[in-house]
Amino acid sequence: MTVVKRSALALILFTSLAGISPAFAAEEPPIVMVLLKNWESQLKVKPTYQALSTESDGSVVIDGLTVNMPVQGDAAGKMTLTIGKTRLSGVTDQGNGLFEVAKAEFTDTKMDMGSTDVAFTISMPQSSAENWYVKALGDNPAPGDFMRANMNVARKMSSGPITMAAAGQTFSADSYEMNWDGDPATGAGKTDFKISNIAIPEAAIATLDPSGTLKQLGYSTLSFDIGGNGNIDIATEKMGFDFDVYYAGKDIGTLKIGAGAGEIPMALIAELQKLEGQAQPDPNKFMPLVQGIQVSRVTLRFEDKSITKKVLPMLAAMQGKDEATMVANAGAMLQLGLAELKNPAFTQKAVEAVNAYLKDPQSLTILAKPAQPVTVQQLMALDPANPGAAIDQLGVTISAND
């Protein structure tokens, strides 16, 4: 796994993780006890803190939170998360194990990850959560209860600047913000988030792109935002979701990915919880639970900001052609490539869309939206020898500049 991929994953994880654990259990307010049990269950380790106090206005202050977590994956290592000071203000008991924290403030948050092949550090001096709802993890919790206790549910979460040091390079982001509107008891509701202005410096670009291709295209540095929105439905026995995520590169373009699925059994969540530490899931348990999941939508969309017009001349030169000739031939080559799909109508629409995009690059969208949601079982039953029928059943379309 590359440094950039690890760094991006850690950056997203860093904006949503926090954990604490007892020094003196007898002195802990109920909100702290709930957080301890939830995060210990989620992180599978016992974090520590240096001091715990209650201010005159009732705010709970925790100093020196630290959690050490082993890193799973292609290299052995450890991740250490520390939070210099945590202040929980306006804590109220909402009943049924639900607590509301009017405002949580985190100061000097830092994550260090090291392994045999890569190490990096992420720092966030200031972050906060407003109207943070914490649900107690009771004894013998149902799958939905366990999932809810492990969710970070707050009306608003935000941070100031974020910096990341990896492989001798320093990356940065201006801020993180998440907004949520939903049911505090279940965690169901609508969410939107954004990490703003993730900056990759020129020295890092030179390391990642030794051939200098990006610089030739005019990108000596990179800056992009990551964001999105979604909705999650949670019932006693089933759940579903619909989301869209985007990656917006300054003067490059925006890649959007979306999907919708429903009828996900909570029993499947329970089996996934039991999977901790197992190398492979048991298909006899998982397949009956997975087969009924319904997929309603999958979207892939690219909105161009200038990169296509910069790339086309370079690709044409590599092929020994001029740009106009290459663009003119693109449709014919695509038509030949899609002939194996055995769906002439879809092929024609795809060729028309690609030709329109190359002549006037604005947007290109691939959408799979069946007339009725299809189940995983139906997807598995599709005939690989007849891809044209599968395209029609899944409602796959390609469009340009819409």
User: Could you write out the three-class secondary structure of 289-354?
Assistant: HHCCCEEEEEEEEEEECCHHHHHHHHHHHHCCCCHHHHHHHHHHHHHHHHHHHCCHHHHHHHHHHH
Region 143-165: what's the mean pLDDT? 90
Percent of the chain residues topping a pLDDT of 90: 54
What the block records as the tokens of 277 is: 């530490």
User: Could you write out the three-class secondary structure of 109-156?
Assistant: EEEEEEECCCEEEEEEEEEEEEEEEEECCCCCCCHHHHHHHCCCEEEE
Cα–Cα distance list, 225 to 14, 24, 44, 249, 398 (Å): 16, 42, 32, 7, 26
Q: How confident is the model at residue 185 (pLDDT cuts 50, 70, 90)?
A: very high
pLDDT of residue 143: 82
Measured N-to-C along each axis, helices 307-318 and 323-338 cross at an angle, to the nearest 10 degrees, of 90
> Is the Cβ–Cβ distance between 259 and 288 less than 8 Å?
no
Q: How confident is the model at residue 278 (pLDDT cuts 50, 70, 90)?
A: low
pLDDT of residue 135: 92
Q: String of b and e for 302-314 (b: at least 16 CB within 10 Å)?
A: bbbbebbeeebee
pLDDT of residue 17: 46
pLDDT of residue 83: 94
**Residue 115 predicted with pLDDT over 90:** no
- Which is more confident, 282 or 109? 109
Q: Which residues contact 114 (CB under 8 A, 6 or more apart)?
A: 77, 78
pLDDT of residue 349: 95
- Which is more confident, 118 or 209? 209
How many angstroms separate the CA atoms of 381 and 93, rounded?
A: 50
pLDDT of residue 19: 37
Region 378-391: what's the mean pLDDT? 90
pLDDT of residue 39: 79
Which range is least confidently modeled, 42-56, 185-199, 365-379? Answer: 42-56
> Is the Cβ–Cβ distance between 43 and 137 less than 8 Å?
no
- Which is more confident, 322 or 369? 369
pLDDT of residue 73: 56
CB neighbours of residue 317 within 10 Å: 12
**Residue 76 predicted with pLDDT over 70:** no
Most confident of the ranges 27-31, 54-58, 69-73: 54-58
What's the distance, Cα to Cα, between the start and end of the chain in Å? 36
How many angstroms separate the CA atoms of 36 and 296, rounded?
A: 38
How buried is 6 (Cβ within 10 angstroms: 0-12 exposed, 13-18 middle, 19+ buried)? buried
pLDDT digits (tens, 9 = 90+) for 237-268: 999 999 999 999 999 999 999 999 999 998 88
Which SS3 state, helix, strand or coil, does residue 161 take?
A: coil
pLDDT of residue 279: 56
Q: String of b and e for 266-301 (b: at least 16 CB within 10 Å)?
A: bebbbbeeeeeeeeeeeeeeeeebbeebbbbbbbeb
Q: How confident is the model at residue 45 (pLDDT cuts 50, 70, 90)?
A: confident
- Which is more confident, 281 or 218? 218
pLDDT of residue 181: 97
Query: Which DSSP string do the residues of 229-295 spell out, in sequence order?
Result: EEEEEE-SSEEEEEEEEEEEETTTEEEEEEEEEEEEEHHHHHHHHHTTT-SS--HHHHHHHHTT-EE
- Which is more confident, 9 or 107? 107
How many angstroms separate the CA atoms of 112 and 69, rounded?
A: 10
Query: What value does the mean pLDDT of the chain take?
Result: 87
pLDDT of residue 79: 85
Nearest to residue 249, comparing CAs of 278, 277, 272, 227? 227
pLDDT digits (tens, 9 = 90+) for 389-399: 899 999 999 99
Cα–Cα distance list, 337 to 109, 197, 341, 348 (Å): 51, 38, 9, 12
Nearest to residue 38, comparing CAs of 21, 26, 58, 50? 21
Which helix (H) or strand (E) covers residue 191, if one does? strand 189-200
Q: Return the sign of the alpha-carbon dihedral for residues 352, 355, 360, 361.
A: positive
How many angstroms separate the CA atoms of 162 and 13, rounded?
A: 13
Q: What is the CA radius of gyration of the chain?
A: 25
pLDDT of residue 44: 78
pTM, two decimals, is: 0.85
Q: How confident is the model at residue 218 (pLDDT cuts 50, 70, 90)?
A: confident
